Structure 1
Amino acid sequence: MATTASPSFDTETLRRGIEGHTASTLLSLYADDAEIRIVDRNAQPSHPKVLHGRQEIGSMLEDVYGREMTHKLERCVVQGDGAAFVESCEYPDGVRVLAESMIALRDGKITEQILIQAWDE
């Protein structure tokens, strides 16, 4: 009896997208019906910013990864149908950003992401 392995989340694609500033590479990791909830000083837990679908998510990724700053994937852990990762960023003027994400996966694609970010002020 043969079994078919379900697709797994591609952490190397995540690293290449983040560190290579490639929004299209990152967008390839999201399911068509994905949702991101963003929590930070402007979008607090009771009223997070919510992005629905690849079009809204793609626009946000183009904005973030089109900026002049460095991005580094610090850590990524995948377990079953979930994963978590930490990303650190730095603007040329030295301002730093730290973002942590918890993601839900279906068939190796991100379906839900909770992104919590903080930056120097």
Structure 2
Amino acid sequence: MASPAFDTDTLRRGIEEHTASTLLSLYADDAEVRIVDREAQPSRPRVLRGRDEIGAMLEDVYGRDMTHALEHCVVQGDRAAFLESCRYPDGVRVLAESVIALRDGKISEQIMIQAWDE
């Protein structure tokens, strides 16, 4: 029996419609997200564990006054990668590249590397 497929339509809808709850539905209960950026360097990434911590981050990000677009998404077996492009009203841009591990069609692990204009 095949594992459930990762729902890329839900990913796009959640990102582009700024819906944290839609995005959170894609995560396993015990998911872990590691974030690397200018504040959380590779040797000390920010680590979020479980749906409560991940949900709080999603609520913060998708509650901001900015646009979000899913630029690319590739799924292969139990792995996927996607690029998200964001823009604040003042023109500042953010790019976030994520590589994810999937279990039963849900995100179990995510590594996100993000960079923004300064």
Shorter-chain TM-score above 0.5: yes
2:13 matches 1:16: yes
Q: Alignment partner of 2:12: what SS?
A: helix
Matching residue's letter, 2:109: E
Q: Alignment partner of 2:41: what SS?
A: coil
TM-score (norm 2): 0.99
2:37 is matched with which residue: 23, 35, 40? Answer: 40
Instruction: Give the corresponding residue for 2:4.
Output: 7
User: How much is the aligned-residue C-alpha RMSD, in angstroms?
Assistant: 0.4
Instruction: Give the corresponding residue for 1:86.
Output: 83
Instruction: Mark the runs of 5 or more structure 2 residues left unpaired by the alignment.
Output: none
Instruction: Give the corresponding residue for 1:73.
Output: 70
Offset at 1:54?
0.2
TM-score (norm 1): 0.97
2:106 matches 1:109: yes
Matching residue's letter, 1:54: R
Greater Rg, structure 1 or structure 2?
1
Offset at 1:6?
1.4
**Kindly, what percent of the aligned residue pairs are identical?**
83
